Structure formats: structure tokens, C-alpha cells
Copies of this chain bind each other. A is one copy, B any other.
């Protein structure tokens, strides 16, 4: 506050200290008289000066009195009021006084009497003007407000105005706020590990640390994830997680409307079902070991065997696989469903196709703004295309044929022994996009050899199975099938795949089919992958709030 502080009145010069009076160098009488007169004159002059200075001081004090002292400071001074969310603000609020609770995105002092704050709420920004005029805003208030560290939370009351020209740097460019009150709710530290504005630039493709470009520091995915709480605050992350939530809720709505019930099956299982490989082990389970379920597959089928007819689950899936890729996590959110059918498993396959079409088209209709926000930052993938709003269903053999026609060597796949590689899947995605103008398609009738033991064999071609995968932009988002519903057939299939049906981890599962079970089919979707591939994100971690991989357990 140094340059603006009142300086106090100048000290009056007192007669006794007048340097003209010198007793030791004694003067003549006339000189004394003259001196006395001069002294009197000087005293009068000094008194006048003193009076003038006192008046000046009084004036100065009056001018610097902070009439806005109640309009800023700690939140404890604020009166309780309603507040409006920045996303709800529109031109109908012009010339109205409103209150918002926002972060300070940045602040700029123009002069002692004028400053601009950029306010931010969930990625939305608006310019707030602080002008010292009238009794609402003082210079002291401006000084105080512009000293608040960036990212702190404030409660701001102001008059909504339509700026001319529009404020290009704010997301709400057609409105601004003339501040009348501002209170600090929660203070950010002066130096943040990273800035939200730096995070609003997309990460570099290579994710190498230490890169930089012309626009400012590059923030790698690692740094973002290390500081996830700040990273969440960007408009792009707010949009990604709005869409992620919507996918879950739309999935739930669709299942419930179809008469399905939501279950939460056990994540602790008593025995590892795949010989321990790929399974996380909890060693302190009351004197024994427990294992974490790699999928709710067995449990949802047991619910079907228990007459639940149609079930779904949303929950964590744990995979102890040392896969360090753009689409693998050790923990992800599975959207699983399983249901009986009347005549043919294609009833379930069609249901699942319609489910995905419903989710995609609803997202495109109801979340266009969020999709646009994400695309601004991750533009490479482009719009998600779904022709005629329906799924394209091909047989696996058709997929192989399309690859072959494009010159891909599919000799391994031709022998029904090997699944498509990730590279082949991506290439097939491109071929299908060109040929069929769609980013969502289904492959049906996979070879039996590449599917798990519980998959139902094709009724006429023993090399094939009643199973399907779903793809978005050439990447798998779901795997599903008709399941074996007879214990004897299941045991035979297990033995054929080298699995012992009498092992502890399989007994309850196999026994479930000894007491009668309807034919059923289902599938398992990865929420994180749906969000990743629908939005065209580079990395599944961007679609995961707190991702977990072989290297990452924090935050």
C-alpha cells in the first residue's frame, strides 16, 4: 500500500527553532526590533502554514476514507444471498445485480482506480471490472482484490453489463460484471504446481517431459495426472467428466427401462480363477488370501441362473496385467449386462447395439457443447460418425475379408486360431469408416478358439461361436456372447481349454447350471474406453478420474 498511503501533514516550523535567532552573536537594538518584527512575521507565517497544513491533512484524510470497507474482505463479512452459476448467466441478466462464487482465473491492475479480474467457474469465464467510482468500490478495495492469489475462491456481487466490444478472452464474451462487492472464500497458495490456463492446452503427442512451444509451458499428461485436482478445473476436463457421467446414467436408464435390475456383485473372491495370473491378491483377509474379481462375469451369470433374467452392474474391474498402453488400466469401470433370451442370442445382440446407439445419439444431441469443448483441444479424431443412427453388424469372417481385400496378411486369422491384432482392428476401423461411413460397428461369430470357455459354440459351424465384439473408431469397447447354460457342456468346454472345472474358483459357477438355467447372453463394456474413443482422446487416462496403472497409485 506504500504509494497510495496518506503521507500526513507537513510538520509546522516553530519560532523557537528559527535559524535566524542566534543569542551568542548578539545584535543591535534596532536590529533586535527588526528581528522581533521579522520573528513575529515568521511566526504568523508559520501559524498560517500550520493551519493550512492541518486543513490539507483533514482534506486528505477525508479523500482516503474507505467508504467501501464493508464491500470486501473475509467471507465472514458477506451477507447470505442467493447465487447464480456462471453457466446459467445469459443476456436476460443484463443490468441486474447478481452474486457468483468463482475462482479468480487471473487479475490485471490498470491503475489505482481500475482493475480487471477474470472469474472462472467449472471452466466458464467472465470478465469482472473493478472501477473506483462512487461509494461501492474504493482504491483500497481494488488493491485488496487484485492481491488475492490466482485460483482463490471469491464471492462477487456485481451489475451485469453488455460490453462493447465483446470480451474475446472470456468464454462468456457477451457479458461482464461491474463489481460491487467481493469477499474471499478460500485462498490458494501463491505458487501452484501448475496453472489451469496452461492445462487448457492439449498435451504433446509424445508426452515427453520438458517440451515447450511458442504459446507457453507444455504440461505433460504425467504432470496433469500428478496434479489431478488442478487439472480437473479445465473446461475440457469438466466436459469429459460430464460426458462420462452421462454415459453411465444413460446406460442405467436404458437398462432400467428394459426391465433390468442393477446388482453389485462381490469384488472379493475366494480363489483365483485363472491360476493366479492376472489376479490381484489380498493377503490379509482374516488369516487367508482373497482375490479381486477380474470381471463380474461369473456372478452375473449366477444371478441369471438365480432367475434374475436381466441384470446389469457398474463397478470396478481389476486386472493385474502389466500392460502399459494408451488403453489399458489396472482398474477400470465395467458396464456389464446379462439377460435371458427367448429364441436366439441375436435378440441380446440387437438390444446391445440399440443401447450403444442410444447412448451415442443422446450424447450428440444433449451434450453438443461439451463435445465441442473437447474437440477444440483434441481435434484429431473429428466427429463421431454413426450412419443412419444404427449399428453396422458384420460377421468376423466379413471383417477378415475386408482386411484381405485391403492387402493385409490374414493367414493366421484364416486358420481360426488367432484373434485380430490391435493394429488390424484399427485398420479395419478405417476401412469400415471409408466403406460404410460409420465409426460404430459390430463383429459377430468369432472363432471359438479365440473366445473364453464359457462361450456358446456356433450351432452349425464348430469353428465359430455365438459371440461378438463392439468397436468404436476401430477400438474394442465391448466383448460379449451367448454363454453355455448347461453344466455338462460347460465342463466339457473348460476341459477342452485346459481349465479344471473342479478347481475351487469354479465350483460355485459350474454348480449354478446344474439346477436349470435359461439360455442367456450379455456383454461387458469399458466405460473409460467408450468415453475415450467416442471423444477421440489419446489416452484412456484422460477419461479416468484417478487412473491406476502398473506405475501409478497416486493421487
Interface positions of A (Cβ within 8 A of B) = 80-83, 101, 103, 121-123, 151-153, 185-189, 192, 228-233, 237-238, 241-242, 244-245, 248-249, 252, 256, 261-270, 280-286, 288, 290, 292, 299, 302-303, 305-309, 314-316, 318, 320, 322, 330-331, 333, 340, 342-344, 485-486, 508-509, 511-519, 527, 545-548, 550-551, 553-555
Contact = CB atoms under 8 A, between A and B. Distances in A.
A241 B103 CA distance: 44
B285 A282 contact: no
A153 B518 contact: yes
Given A264-B527, A267-B331, A553-B268, A303 B514 contact: no
29 contacts: A80-B342, A101-B340, A122-B308, A153-B518, A185-B518, A229-B305, A230-B515, A232-B307, A263-B545, A264-B316, A264-B333, A264-B545, A265-B545, A266-B545, A266-B547, A266-B548, A268-B330, A268-B553, A269-B553, A270-B553, A270-B554, A281-B282, A285-B553, A286-B320, A286-B550, A288-B553, A290-B553, A299-B546, A314-B314
Given A264-B333, A282-B280, A286-B322, A516 B187 contact: yes
A229 B302 contact: yes
Contacts of A519: 185-186
A101 B485 CA distance: 15
Contact of A249 (B186, B256, B299, B546): B256
A249 B245 CA distance: 14
A247 to B, nearest CB: 9
Nearest to A546: B266
Contacts of A305: 229
Contact of A516 (B103, B322, B518, B550): B103
Contacts of A330: 268, 285
A517 B264 contact: no
Nearest to A550: B286
Contacts of A122: 307-309
Given A185-B519, A264-B333, 20 more contacts: A80-B343, A101-B340, A103-B307, A121-B307, A151-B516, A189-B514, A230-B306, A237-B306, A245-B262, A265-B545, A266-B331, A266-B547, A268-B318, A270-B553, A280-B285, A281-B282, A282-B282, A282-B283, A286-B322, A299-B545
Contact of A515 (B101, B151, B486, B516): B151
Contacts of A314: 264, 314
A242 B188 CA distance: 47
B265 A303 contact: no
A554 B508 contact: yes
A486 B545 contact: no
Nearest to A527: B264
A58 B384 CA distance: 73
Given A186-B485, A518-B153, A263 B281 contact: no
B342 A82 contact: yes
Give how many copies assemble into the complex.
2
A515 B189 contact: yes
Nearest to A268: B548
Contacts of A331: 266-268
A281 B242 CA distance: 32
A163 to B, nearest CB: 25
Among all A-B residue pairs, the 4 with the closest Cβ atoms: A232-B306, A270-B553, A508-B555, A245-B261
B261 A241 contact: yes
Contacts of A265: 545-546
A248 B229 CA distance: 28
A517 B153 contact: yes
Nearest to A504: B554
B546 A306 contact: no
Nearest to A309: B122
A267 to B, nearest CB: 5
Contacts of A244: 263
A248 B302 CA distance: 21
A229 B515 contact: yes
Contacts of A264: 314, 316, 333, 527, 545
Contact of A280 (B284, B307, B343): B284
Contacts of A485: 186
Contacts of A513: 186
Contacts of A509: 555
B266 A515 contact: no
Contacts of A342: 80-83, 101
Contacts of A266: 331, 545-548
A122 B268 CA distance: 27
A541 to B, nearest CB: 12
Nearest to A290: B553
Contacts of A318: 267-268
A192 B82 CA distance: 64
B516 A186 contact: yes
Contacts of A547: 266
Nearest to A553: B270
Nearest to A103: B516
A550 B121 CA distance: 46
